[in-house]
Structure 1
């Protein structure tokens, strides 16, 4: 029995048979994940553009941190607002608006004459990145069959790291050929307008999330969408389950902040916030944003660091492929813990060897090898599980709000890492900074073992009922009695 078939049986559904609906689902996934590609490119491009930008705009370590982290601050609010708006207006509509924001933010940054306008453009881009970080995975989660949800949702993570790799490659090529020309960083930035246009055009032809339509009582439209991405029998069975839960939620007459008074919902929000923080305090984005500077500090020259940094992007993509494969075969929770153990060991070794090895290409090569190892565990285990579980654990009526709140927390921590990393390196050095991240990783490991639930092999509706029963024994007893 295949792993997809096993998960379908475990969730109580019949595995989909191949047909036009499977091709439609694949096309939908590719188009929607252009949001992830933009997320990755716009967060990764600063890595190589920053050294050139520093010369042209006269940046200091403090303003470097502000320019880098302004996108992350925008992303925090983008995640929160994007989740709320997508609950009200729909996932597809929100993604269309985000495509426009990506293009506008990119153009502001490209033509920015100084720091102030650059920061404004990065905040606009951040709103788009944050909105995409929660809306795209909510959309994919809600159109995916239970047995393929892990694989399809994690393809967004693959597109994120592919976008970062594309940014690193473009930075290296543009820097290598036109590195002495003024304003070369502007060409690095403007490339992001192309996938923004592709996302907008592609989403015009894509349907709305069937589960969002059901949450609005639009069951006929929801069935029509499900029939595009399921065989006919599976579509009708799935709609019946979605409809029953949507009507139950509507009868409860709550769908907002008031729901936090409900113990089982409050517990899920706490778990979601913990998962979001755990992903960021490993310090992964210190490498994705400042990898070139880390390698320069370790002993590479600027051009060598730009080229060597491509290895970080390559391993991120390869590791994500491994992560997608693993998600179909192993439970989520152990995968998260193993990833945290691996990142902790890599961070600890970076700190130790940066202290004991003399500066030069030898030390830089060792640091590069360890950052690659770190990213293998981070992008192969922690990041895929993080984004997937955030798309799974929240009930339908609160999925946008819950993911928005957790996205807000994730991006605030990301913002703090981006802002403080250059300041910490300047103040206490690379070794102490990585020791700090390693210590935080131990805390994350302990929290993951204590509170993170297992979600593999269940439909979103089954998960909601299980969380509700676990948090409300009286409700569970009443349900059994009925």
Structure 2
């Protein structure tokens, strides 16, 4: 097809519902396979929740080394996010996901077989490289394959797989702990399960197509058209290619593609600031204190160790259910008010966790009150904040540097996550659980103000139309 001048605006594309059923099935298969990267992300970040107490006994962990084992994955994820973003821009989204599947597999084996704390920290860092790379590459791949009107639902399937991975981790931890009892090395069985989805991801991506928008950004328009025909009707593919191609030419003329280009482009600098803010907002709620230390929080509230492991499954279940609700809402309400509602809900839940931990005596009442509030917190976090965060970060950057832009924003997200994961045990030890959660409440109020002032609305636009709007808004 001919690449039209970017001033020529193509006719509106027909809706995806007009596509043959085989095309819609192909789109579903692509989404399922790619989101195994999200399943691995969720499992590998959630499994430490139940494995850590057993690992502490076997490896002789102190509060400091507990924090290092937990947060080494997050530090690796920060590096993996920016590296993965650059690689996906340079080599393609599909090829990068294949590489990540290999890293997931090898790093999981490293964690499983680690004989001491030092090797565990190194292996967890390597696993973090894969988690960070997947956190960037999979949402971008899904956003670029999806039609505009279904982008929210399809991209947030990755968030559904993340929380499903966490639920799988919580459930398998509880089952393995009950079956294995106090036998040495029970945590190794908890970790090794993650090798299975890594194998599925690698074999599945072998037969998946490359992102059509990445192909267009490389000037490979014919290949982009062939991929679009797999996931669109013929007329929709033709209309979309002309829009994508025109913008790819414009981005090439502006040399958008890296850090120097971003610093030299004023509107991109402002957009990156917004991306950083969205990333911090998602983490500053303290969500991963519950994901990583949920079992310990419930134990401190009054549950026994085994009961806390079982009760923690409720956190995983509500995360999955809330994400289903979030996917449904994304097709019906705007992203920005949904994000603000989620923030308001998490702030209230954290405030009540702090209050209950402070005023209720230790025992059954406090234990179940704290559990109820962690479930409420996760309902707002996983039903609104997390899906909107990953969706917006996959949408707001220009095609030619989408992987890089999201990667840099994800570095901020993972470093924030790393800092919180590292200091949380020490904060609880020094300040108590109540005052620690009150800190997150204050941070949540500041986050709400940021979203209200700076975050744009992204719903209902193609990626190309959205880029034009953001270019005009921030220029």
TM-score by length of 2: 0.96
Does residue 342 in structure 1 map to residue 345 in structure 2? yes
State how far apart, in whole Å, the 2-side matches of 1:351 and 1:199 are. Answer: 40
Aligned position for 2:47:
45
State how far apart, in whole Å, the 2-side matches of 1:446 and 1:360 are. Answer: 37
The Cα RMSD (Å) is 0.8
State how far apart, in whole Å, the 2-side matches of 1:405 and 1:12 are. Answer: 33
State how far apart, in whole Å, the 2-side matches of 1:83 and 1:55 are. Answer: 37
Aligned position for 1:418:
421
Give the conservation status (yes or no) of the 8 Å contact 2:257–2:404. Answer: no
Aligned position for 1:72:
74
* C-alpha deviation, 1:470, in angstroms: 2.0
Aligned position for 1:476:
none
* C-alpha deviation, 1:170, in angstroms: 0.2
State how far apart, in whole Å, the 2-side matches of 1:254 and 1:398 are. Answer: 6
State how far apart, in whole Å, the 2-side matches of 1:253 and 1:50 are. Answer: 47
Aligned position for 2:333:
330
Q: Unaligned regions of 5+ residues in structure 2, if any?
A: 1-10
Deviations 1:239-270 (A, max 9, x none): 00000000111122342122222121111101
Aligned position for 1:175:
177
Give the conservation status (yes or no) of the 8 Å contact 2:70–2:422. Answer: yes
Deviations 1:180-220 (A, max 9, x none): 21100000000000000000000000000000000000000
Deviates more, 1:335-344 or 1:11-20: 11-20
Deviations 1:71-127 (A, max 9, x none): 000000000100001000000000000000000110000000000000011001000
Deviations 1:342-363 (A, max 9, x none): 0000000011111100011221
Task: Pick from 243, 246, 249 the counterpart of residue 247 of structure 1.
Answer: 249
Give the conservation status (yes or no) of the 8 Å contact 2:302–2:364. Answer: yes
- Equivalences, count: 462
State how far apart, in whole Å, the 2-side matches of 1:12 and 1:131 are. Answer: 34
- Aligned runs of 1:142-291 on 2, under 5 Å? 142-257=144-259, 258-291=261-294
Give the conservation status (yes or no) of the 8 Å contact 2:12–2:239. Answer: no
Does residue 430 in structure 1 map to residue 424 in structure 2? no
Deviates more, 1:12-21 or 1:48-57: 12-21
User: SS at 1:358's partner residue?
Assistant: coil
- Aligned runs of 1:76-95 on 2, under 5 Å? 76-95=78-97
State how far apart, in whole Å, the 2-side matches of 1:292 and 1:42 are. Answer: 16
Deviations 1:309-355 (A, max 9, x none): 00000000000000000000000000000000000000000111111
TM-score by length of 1: 0.95
Deviates more, 1:174-183 or 1:376-385: 174-183
Does residue 14 in structure 1 map to residue 14 in structure 2? yes
User: SS at 2:441's partner residue?
Assistant: helix
1:112 and 1:246, CA in 2 relative to 1: closer, same or farther beyond 3 A? same
Deviates more, 1:150-159 or 1:172-181: 172-181
Deviations 1:273-328 (A, max 9, x none): 00000000000000000000000011111000000000000000000000000000
Task: Pick from 300, 310, 313 the counterpart of residue 310 of structure 1.
Answer: 313
Deviations 1:412-449 (A, max 9, x none): 00001111111111111000000000110000000000
State how far apart, in whole Å, the 2-side matches of 1:77 and 1:99 are. Answer: 17
Give the conservation status (yes or no) of the 8 Å contact 2:256–2:401. Answer: no
State how far apart, in whole Å, the 2-side matches of 1:336 and 1:457 are. Answer: 16
State how far apart, in whole Å, the 1-side matches of 2:254 and 2:115 are. Answer: 53
Runs of 4+ that moved beyond 6 A: none
User: SS at 2:432's partner residue?
Assistant: helix
Aligned position for 1:466:
469
Task: Pick from 310, 320, 323 the counterpart of residue 323 of structure 2.
Answer: 320
State how far apart, in whole Å, the 2-side matches of 1:276 and 1:124 are. Answer: 22
State how far apart, in whole Å, the 2-side matches of 1:156 and 1:310 are. Answer: 20
State how far apart, in whole Å, the 1-side matches of 2:97 and 2:461 are. Answer: 26
